[in-house]
Amino acid sequence: MVTIDILYFAWLRERIDEPRERILTSAASVADLVAELRLRSERHAAAFRDPASVRVALDQRLADFSASLCGVREVAFFPPMTGG
């Protein structure tokens, strides 16, 4: 198990009602982490119901959901923003 900081932006943050959280996880990949997060609460499940348009950054570098979490300290989930 490792400790990872998770950051949420835009409507993800709104749905989860927190901008960040620190969790203990054994998830091997981003996809595994998302599956784990979905089980944390109804809010998390709602936030990750349709993650196809959500992007992820590992330690502030853009990555794919298939990417490994080995050595990663921070995971940021962010969707495209719309308004202007």
Partner 1 sequence: MEIEAPLYGEGELPRYERHILLREIGGQGQARLKRARVLVVGAGGLGAPVLLYLAAAGVGRITVVDDDSVSLSNLQRQVIHSQQRLGMAKVESARIALAGINPYVTVVPVEARLDRTRAADLIAGQTLVIDATDNLPTRHLLNAACTAAGVPLLSGAISQWEGQLTLYDPANGAPCLACLFPVLPPDELQVTCTSAGVMGALPGILGAMMAAEAIKEIAGAGQSLHGRLLLHDALWGETRQIAIHRSAGCPVCGPCRKDPT
Nearer of residues 27 and 54 to partner 1, judged by Cβ: 54
Nearer of residues 37 and 75 to partner 1, judged by Cβ: 75
The pair of three-digit structure tokens given for residue 21, joined into one six-digit string: 């959280």
Sites of contact with partner 1 (CB under 8 A): 7, 9-11, 13-14, 19, 50, 52-53, 55, 57, 60-62, 76, 78-84
CA distance 44 to 62: 22
Amino acid (1-letter code) at residue 2: V
Coil, strand or helix at 10: helix
Nearer of residues 24 and 84 to partner 1, judged by Cβ: 84
Q: What are phi and psi of 47, to 5 degrees?
A: -65, -35
Query: At closest approach, how far in Å is the CB of 80 from partner 1?
Result: 4
